[in-house]
Amino acid sequence: MTLPTITPAKAQTLLDEGARLIDIRDADEHRRQSIPGAANMPLASLEPVSGHPAVIWHCRSGMRTAANAAQLAAMSGCPGYILEGGIDGWRAAGMPVATDAKAPLEIMRQVQIVAGLLILAGVILSLTVAQGFVLLSGFVGAGLLMAGATGWCGMARLLGAMPWNRRAA
């Protein structure tokens, strides 16, 4: 079963009629930028949604929701829809988006930045200081390969424990 895609304007109409808007992105992504009134229910912790005229699922660009449409449809105890273009499409349509510029970057963006810096440093150091520094690039590359293959990222865990990523209770 698949879910139909609706425009931000149609989504707003449904929201005005009592539909529920659910953001399936991880909590760190939702905390940094969200559609006002959207509930956060990451894919890893989906629960059935019912008791509303409709449920509208969204992510950042619409790709994650489209890729998981069958799972989202199974969780929709009422008519379910996917927001066309996700939060990016919502913003492009001129709809309001809440942004917390003080929230840290999403963990995966932090991983990409740190991994890129470590690989670049390993290459530069291996060319200018000692060839052995190329092992740094190889180690980071192996870690990224392992993360992609298993779904577990040690660097993401480490970055998640950093002080700037901890929320005050």
Catalytic residues: 59
Crossing angle of helices 107-128 and 134-150, rounded to 10°? 150
CA 143 to CA 157: how far, in whole Å?
12
Residue ranges of E strands in the chain: 5-6, 20-23, 33-34, 39-40, 55-58, 80-83, 98-99
Reduced to 3 states (helix: H, G, I; strand: E, B; else coil), residue 33 is strand
